[in-house]
Amino acid sequence: LMKCIILAGGSGTRLWPLSRVQFPKQFLKIGDHSLFQATWLRARKLASADEIYVVTNEAHQYLVNNQLEEVGATLDPAHLLREPCGRNTLPAIAWAMATIRAECGDAIAVVFPSDHHLDEAALQEIEAAVPLAEDHLVTFGVKPDCPHTGYGYIRPGAPLVCGSAVDSFKEKPDKETAEGYCQAGYLWNSGMFLLRTTIFFEELERYQPAMAAAFAAGVPEEYAALQNLSIDYGLLEVSERVAVVPLDCAWSDMGDFKALYDHAAHDPKGNAGKAEYIDATGNYVHAKGKAIGLIGVNNLAVVDTGDALLVCAKDQTDKVRDLVARFKGQQ
């Protein structure tokens, strides 16, 4: 058993209008459970309920508690870390690690993002990597299937006790660089980590001393004053103690409608979602309480929430983020 940290403070803008400022994507029900609930149930296979820490925005604390209640779980209130504002993943992880250190000293924790689908087999691979976490910041690598620019890329180096050392880590490269990385056998960073408190704080001290100082006494006094920084840029790109374990199982990021489409059931024409389709293929439809018809159009995402409607080419779903920026303040 180990400690588990669940990151549930992102906004998931690319799933607008399904995900909203007040209702981010990790809390959306996709299938039986939300991604957050699925992440909790996964974490419970590695840790008891009182060894799990959830970091989220304070505005979402009730969503967290309600969704846990729905799956018959309760979180220790002291382990619900409520951020007054999002400062990205490094402060979120540092806060949870500082809480763990204060409660039990030296310990190893697995960090789970809450925006993925993950095969259960991964849990064994994570447990098997514990010896590696004794003296490394451990990442889990996934074989890329396209030059995606939204991921971190890892170049595996010399073999270690399990997995290998990391020669280089590059967060969110541009398209050309990503293409080169794919050909050169780099792995995607899955966004899950295995971290030992002592190693994590040594590296934080070395590369982000201001952040380390802010967490020296546990909770930082002024969260909003912390630097907005992800663990990827803040530690993994710069630390020389990063290791990678290749994941040998299904992993997917549920970041956009293309991913939801890929994950959904398709009719023989490749359409996913309840609608009437005539001469239409490869479309994704999400709507409730409405008759929807698509004629002569292909590869669209059509998402209706009553108060908002999105029609988007399925290969441009990353631009939903720009759209939301334009709507800012209106919804």
**Which residues bind to Mg ion, rule: CB under 5 A?**
115
Contacts of 189 (CB under 8 A, 6+ apart): 139, 140, 141, 142, 151, 152, 153, 154, 169, 171, 232, 236
Q: Which is nearer to Mg ion, 51 or 115 (CB)?
A: 115
Cis status, amide bond into 268, omega within 30 of 0: no
Contact call for residues 6 and 52 (beta carbons, < 8 A) = yes
Binding mask 129-148 for ligand GDD (x = CB under 6 A): --------------------
Using DSSP, state whether 34 is helix, strand or coil: strand
- DSSP notation for 195-246: EEHHHHHHHHHHH-HHHHHHTTTSS-S-GGGS----HIIIIITT-S-EEEEE
Contact partner at residue 19 from ligand GDD, Mg ion, none, CB < 5 to 8 Å by partner kind: none
Contact call for residues 59 and 49 (beta carbons, < 8 A) = no
Closest-CA residue to 85 (of 24, 23, 13, 9)? 9
As a whole number of Å, the end-to-end CA separation of the chain is 43
Q: Which is nearer to Mg ion, 101 or 258 (CB)?
A: 258
Closest-CA residue to 139 (of 184, 74, 187, 69)? 187
Query: What would the two tokens of residue 173 be?
Result: 């490269």
Least distance between Mg ion and beta carbon 205 (Å): 27
Contacting residue, 37, 67, 89, 317, with ligand GDD by CB under 6 A: 89
The one-letter amino acid code at 78 reads A
Residue 83 touches ligand GDD, criterion: CB under 6 A: yes
Residue 115 touches ligand GDD, criterion: CB under 6 A: yes
Contact call for residues 123 and 45 (beta carbons, < 8 A) = yes
Binding mask 286-315 for ligand GDD (x = CB under 6 A): ------------------------------
Q: Which is nearer to Mg ion, 83 or 115 (CB)?
A: 115
Contacting residue, 13, 19, 26, 271, with ligand GDD by CB under 6 A: 26
Q: Which region, judged by CB under 6 A, interacts with ligand GDD, from 44-52, 110-118, 292-300, 319-327?
A: 110-118
Residue 188 touches ligand GDD, criterion: CB under 6 A: yes
Residue 152 touches ligand GDD, criterion: CB under 6 A: yes
Closest-CA residue to 239 (of 165, 178, 129)? 165
Contacting residue, 13, 56, 164, 299, with ligand GDD by CB under 6 A: 56
Contact partner at residue 92 from ligand GDD, Mg ion, none, CB < 5 to 8 Å by partner kind: ligand GDD
Contact partner at residue 114 from ligand GDD, Mg ion, none, CB < 5 to 8 Å by partner kind: ligand GDD
Residue 15 touches ligand GDD, criterion: CB under 6 A: no
Contacting residue, 4, 5, 7, 301, with ligand GDD by CB under 6 A: 7
Closest-CA residue to 275 (of 235, 303, 236)? 303
> Total number of residues binding ligand GDD (CB under 6 A)?
26
Supply the DSSP symbol for 84.
Answer: S
Q: Which is nearer to ligand GDD, 95 or 277 (CB)?
A: 95
Least distance between Mg ion and beta carbon 253 (Å): 6
Helix count (H) and strand count (E) of the chain? 11, 18
Least distance between Mg ion and beta carbon 306 (Å): 27
Q: Which is nearer to ligand GDD, 171 or 202 (CB)?
A: 171
Query: What would the two tokens of residue 260 be?
Result: 């939801």
Residue 164 touches ligand GDD, criterion: CB under 6 A: no
Contact footprint for ligand GDD (CB under 6 A)? 7-10, 26, 55-56, 83, 86-89, 92, 113-115, 150-152, 171, 188-191, 232, 253
